[in-house]
Structure formats: structure tokens, C-alpha cells
């Protein structure tokens, strides 16, 4: 029970930090973001940050939790790699939008859904480490996005993107 509570608290703290950082990056992009010819990240274009990078963060967190529950020793590193792949999808979708005027941001949402499912089917290592109860991992998996969304909303009232 002690590790379950610690895992959930840790996920909540990480979610709060992620939400605040997501708001700060959205603010910076809305105010100073790049622009390419007829298309710009400034103003409403900054919505690409929470709607693109937010799902990438969730994919990384959920993959890390799935792999941790299944006993993978490198679960954190693999979660970060998953986040970076989601960020690469965001960058690629921005270039694709600029070149073709076709929005493919749904790839990132698909990545957020597919990556944790795939992580659930990866073959477990021969010497899996004990990881704790499923309740703690599910609680952390639910608590992280809730904390991230609440922190994004609360920090947006202090440092509103576009203000």
C-alpha cells in the first residue's frame, strides 16, 4: 500500500509539473512563436502545443506506467523515448501542414492510444522486477492526465497564452 500511494502521488506531482510547463511553452509560442509564410504559431496557432505535445506527454507517461507495472527495468527511459517520438510526430505534422495544408495532428492522438497498448504486448524480460499493485498503476495513469489538465488550466489563469 505504501508504494501504491507513493506512485500515485509521484504521478500527480509529475502531472502538475507537466501541466505548468505545457502552459508556459504554449504562452511562449503564442507570443513569440515562429511563422512560416501564410501560417503562424502565434495566437491560435499555439494550440498545437497543448493539443499536440500534450498527447505526446500522455503517451510517454502511460507507456512508462505500463512497462513499470510489467517489470521492465528501463521503463522510464522507454517512456521518455515514447514522448520524443510523439514530439517528432508533432514536428512532422507541422511540416506536413506547411507543405500541403493538410492537418495530420490525429497521428499524435493515435500515438497516445496505440503506444501504451503496444507496450502491453511487448514480451516481458526474463527477470522481471516486482512492480506493485495494478490499482496504483491505474490510479497513476488516471491521476497524471487529470493533474496535468488541472495544472494547465490553473496556470493559464496566471499566465494565459496569447495575453
Q: Which residue has the higher pLDDT, 84 or 160?
A: 84
Pairing of strands 39-40, 35-36: antiparallel
Give the model's pLDDT for residue 129. Answer: 64
What global pTM score does this model have? 0.89
For 159, phi then psi, to 5°, come to -125, 80
> What number is the average pLDDT over the span 36-57?
83
User: Which of 79, 80, 71 minimizes the C-alpha distance to 131?
Assistant: 71
Per-residue pLDDT, 46: 82
pLDDT tens sequence across 82-116:
999 999 998 888 888 778 877 788 888 999 999 99
Q: What is the mean pLDDT of residues 27-33?
A: 85
Does residue 57 carry a pLDDT above 90?
yes
Instruction: Kindly give, in sequence order, each residue whose CB lies less than 8 Å from that of residue 23, ignoring residues fewer than 6 positions away.
Output: 50, 151, 152, 155, 156, 159, 161
- d(C-alpha 100, C-alpha 63), whole Å: 32
Helices 75-100 and 54-69: crossing angle in degrees, nearest 10, is 150
Q: What are the residue ranges spanned by the domains of the chain?
A: 2-158
Amino acid at each position: 500500500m505504501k508504494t501504491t500511494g507513493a506512485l500515485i502521488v509521484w504521478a500527480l506531482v509529475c502531472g502538475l509539473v507537466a501541466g505548468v510547463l505545457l502552459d508556459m511553452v504554449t504562452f511562449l509560442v503564442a507570443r513569440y512563436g515562429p511563422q512560416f509564410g501564410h501560417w503562424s504559431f502565434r495566437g491560435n496557432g499555439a494550440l498545437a502545443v497543448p493539443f499536440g505535445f500534450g498527447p505526446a506527454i500522455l503517451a510517454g507517461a502511460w507507456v512508462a506506467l505500463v512497462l513499470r507495472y510489467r517489470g521492465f527495468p528501463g521503463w522510464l527511459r522507454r517512456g521518455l523515448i515514447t514522448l520524443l517520438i510523439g514530439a517528432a510526430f508533432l514536428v512532422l505534422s507541422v511540416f506536413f501542414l506547411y507543405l500541403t495544408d493538410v492537418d495530420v495532428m490525429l497521428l499524435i492522438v493515435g500515438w497516445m492510444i496505440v503506444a501504451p497498448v503496444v507496450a502491453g504486448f511487448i514480451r516481458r524480460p526474463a527477470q522481471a522486477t516486482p512492480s506493485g499493485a495494478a490499482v496504483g498503476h491505474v490510479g497513476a495513469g488516471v491521476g497524471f492526465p487529470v493533474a496535468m489538465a488541472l495544472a494547465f488550466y490553473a496556470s493559464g489563469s496566471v499566465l494565459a497564452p496569447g495575453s
